[in-house]
Copies of this chain bind each other. A is one copy, B any other.
Amino acid sequence: MTKIKQQLDTRNALIQSGIKLFGEYGLNGTSTRMLSHDCGANIALISYHFGNKEGLYEACLDYISLRIQDYIKGTYVTLGDIIRKEKPTAHEAKQVIDSIIETMLTMFLVHEEPKSWNVLISREQSNPTPAFDIIYDSIIKRIQQDLTRMIAIYIGRDPNSEESKIRSHIFISQVLGFITSRESFLRHMGTDNLSQAQIGKTRKVVKEYIDTVLNGLRACQLKEAE
């Protein structure tokens, strides 16, 4: 076993335990002994590899950030050309919107590994630590900007207006609510875990909802001069 391999094993084991435990108990509610016990690494290795507990927390967010960027890379490969266009068509803009939403829904509702990221992201969203920048700058900001622009283009509004920023925030919140208010949603649905049928319904209702609002806003615009 090479040095690099072994180092990554211990280091990575701590990161995986970190994502799980920090997600469940928060930074302050997770002790170095919990982390050590969870992955079997000696407690001194936290400061050896990461400097201190906060360093491990940041490493967890770095890891999640990279993985999410990987996760959405597929989406952005096919959409990058449209996004970079000076003037995408409304049809093109709608493609971007749909793809981003689809990716988010899949990430939030379907795949198993991302579920462990979601809890930590949800924590950071509602109560940012100093490490929030890691997630914000690499992922959230980009999605905000892209959706602000694409939505405005699709509905025929000014992409640079504050109204467009507000609108995209509302738009993103529609989907983000499945992780930031997950417990409320589950209780309302009367379950501890969404069934495949429930997930299917959710995706369908989301799609109907956003198509309706986007087309409604677009139709308003075709009738009025902004």
**Cα–Cα, bound, A89→B199 (Å):** 31
- Min CB distance A159 to B, Å, is 13
Q: A127 contacts which chain B residues (CB < 8 A)?
A: 26, 119, 122-123, 126
Interface flags, A149-171, vs B, CB<8A=1, else 0? 00000000000001101111110
- Asked whether, in the complex, the Cβ of B125 is within 8 Å of the Cβ of A183, the reply is yes
**B177 engages A172 (CB within 8 Å):** yes
Give complex CA distance A143, B11 in Å. 45
Query: A176 — which chain B residues lie within 8 A by C-beta?
Result: 173, 177, 180-181
Give min CB distance, A188 to chain B, whole Å. 5
Q: Which residue of B is nearest A168, CB measured? A: B188
Residues of A55-95 whose CB lies within 8 A of B: none
A148 to B189, CA, bound (A): 11
Taking a contact as CB atoms under 8 Å apart, the answer to whether A187 and B126 are in contact is no
Q: Chain B residues near A132 (CB, 8 Å)?
A: 183
For A180, the chain B residues whose CB sits under 8 A away are: 125-126, 173, 176-177, 180-181
Are B162 and A189 in touch, CB under 8 angstroms?
Answer: yes
> How many of these chains are in the complex?
2
Instruction: Decide if A40 is an interface residue (CB 8 Å cutoff).
Output: no
Task: Return the contact of A170 from the options B162, B169, B177 (Cβ within 8 A).
Answer: B177
Stretch at the interface among A2-10, A13-21, A46-54, A207-215: A207-215
> B residues within 8 A CB of A208?
217, 220
Chain B residues with CB under 8 Å of A33's CB are none
Q: Is the Cβ of A220 less than 8 Å from the Cβ of B212?
A: yes
A44 at the interface (CB under 8 A from B): no
